[in-house]
Structure 1
């Protein structure tokens, strides 16, 4: 290379030219990969209708029965933390044992028969067989000031105890004992848990999708066509409630497992969700939603494993959703997916 005065010449050797070309290619390749990453997670501009919301389920206590709501056309708010209704949130309550370990219906199936109903924005009334009803005012909890440390499937989270009176009732309802269990409350206004390690390789999941005491994400959708197809393979059909999804979708055209291929879901005019993972299944769907009896043949999980295992460790049915636009939803809302 020669440089001189106003008439200076600038020359690149062939070796340098090759290096510059490679550098430009690397930069160009990185820019393209960044562009692909950003554009593949852009919200769709066009949507197509696939069905309507048949039922919405809202579980105040993890592993217990859904909230009983008598209000017709009840609207639920969907925000980044979870679904809420009239001041009460989905899965912001959880039962733990004396070692502060999570307790679920996987071990105590009759937890699914602990029911709740709202009596005010801050009050729930719980009911269980052979026990007087328990009223809890979440604005006036009697728990100690110090929070407890527990975990949801190995993911740690700090929680607030609800108080000895409440602990005694849940111990009686679940263990048939005077003590041994505690009811704890999720005290944060936003998601603080890390993502479940099983989902760490999912490309579109975000930390804020982790929700409250959810196993995986704040929202889950079940396609009733998929449940119907599963039921054709079972001796004893199951209720879709056994899969404990928030949204049950009635398809306009019967399409089992269509949800496997959806990237985006919109419910009604406002709430938009990103599909972030398939919902892999444990033994909980083997518990009858009405009787709490565990299926002696291990169904429907046994049948699901025969044709919905893919390359996963557990069979998949339903999809986990991450909220991308908040909004209100209600039963009979139209459900849309991206129009490719």
Structure 2
């Protein structure tokens, strides 16, 4: 017969062993899930075509519509003969207190266009402003700006000089004491944003396809955002007022045409054209920017389409809701690059078939 102490010890040993086995099973399942999600498909199914291709050289600035682009780890880059290749969201406006300026607070940013200039320069254009020519920083920077991005992520940029700062301050019509700087993402100087560090390490625990460097230059998070045209049309049909918004209101890089509404929720690997392969690692959660017309910078008084999206596109997972917000609806998917390539408007878009 076992004494009371012996029975207690046996129970503890059995319970501990069971807990260890359960933990091992969960760990094995998670590791297997990561491995399987990281396998490049060998079979592809066509789901549509690339209808629109855009970059936003200045964060929160005007879109630049392209016919062709190169896909790099850090985002879309222009091709062609221009002296400077423009990239997605590689300029940013920040104030001297280390706070980034976005169209959420400063809608006039929508009107700032960026074009390639002569060798080593880019040109900023805005209504009622003289063109601003900025020389692309290179070598050891004279000044770096330190600031916080979304979710209090610590970041930095290379400063573009006093003339650019004064131009931005004047166009945005800021208060005298609200000084701003124009920052540039110089790849050989600015550290790569790391998803193994906070805040993105918290997201990696919830989204198993999110890899360590699935980040853009100064985008809120991912280097690529895809929108399904049919999902936008489906959303428009639900807006009570009959208001219609275009995919451009969601500021995507890619717009796919020909897919079923919300089909993108279930896509894993996505191939555009012959070579460029991406992985859908999480839905894009939307904010008040979706209520702003990118052509006029006017905000919809009924908070559409955000209000309608909240009626049917909120996250269902409680842990993800806690991480991302209970009232943030999904539209579009964030993607990381898995194989580089050139994409063109009209290219077929495929999704990987699961191995059987």
Instruction: State the TM-score, normalized to the length of structure 1.
Output: 0.84
Please provide the CA RMSD for this pair: 2.7
Counterpart in 2 of 1:289? 294
Q: Distance in 2 between matches of 1:207 and 1:37?
A: 13
**Alpha-carbon shift at residue 133 of structure 1 (Å):** 1.4
Q: 8 Å contact 1:265–1:274 — kept in the other structure?
A: yes
Q: 8 Å contact 1:81–1:191 — kept in the other structure?
A: no
Written as runs of structure 1 = structure 2, the 5 A alignment for 1:1-340 is: 34-67=31-64, 73=67, 75-86=68-79, 87-120=85-118, 122-139=120-137, 145-153=142-150, 154-175=152-173, 180-189=179-188, 192-195=192-195, 196-197=199-200, 199-200=203-204, 201-234=206-239, 235-251=242-258, 253=259, 255-311=260-316, 312=321, 313=326, 314-340=328-354
Q: Distance in 2 between matches of 1:126 and 1:150?
A: 22
- Cα distance change on mapping 1:237 and 1:148 into 2, 3 Å: same
**Alpha-carbon shift at residue 66 of structure 1 (Å):** 1.2
Q: 8 Å contact 1:191–1:209 — kept in the other structure?
A: no
Q: Which runs of 5+ in 1 are unaligned?
A: 1-21
- Report the count of equivalent residues: 312
Q: Secondary structure at the match of 2:311?
A: helix
Instruction: State the TM-score, normalized to the length of structure 2.
Output: 0.80
Per-residue CA deviation, residues 232-284 of structure 1 (Å, 9 max, x unaligned), is: 12232112111001001111x5x110000101100111111111100000100
Q: Distance in 2 between matches of 1:183 and 1:193?
A: 19
Q: 8 Å contact 2:137–2:158 — kept in the other structure?
A: no
Q: Secondary structure at the match of 1:307?
A: coil
Q: Distance in 1 between matches of 2:142 and 2:294?
A: 36
Q: 8 Å contact 1:80–1:191 — kept in the other structure?
A: no
Q: 8 Å contact 2:34–2:209 — kept in the other structure?
A: no
Counterpart in 1 of 2:13? none
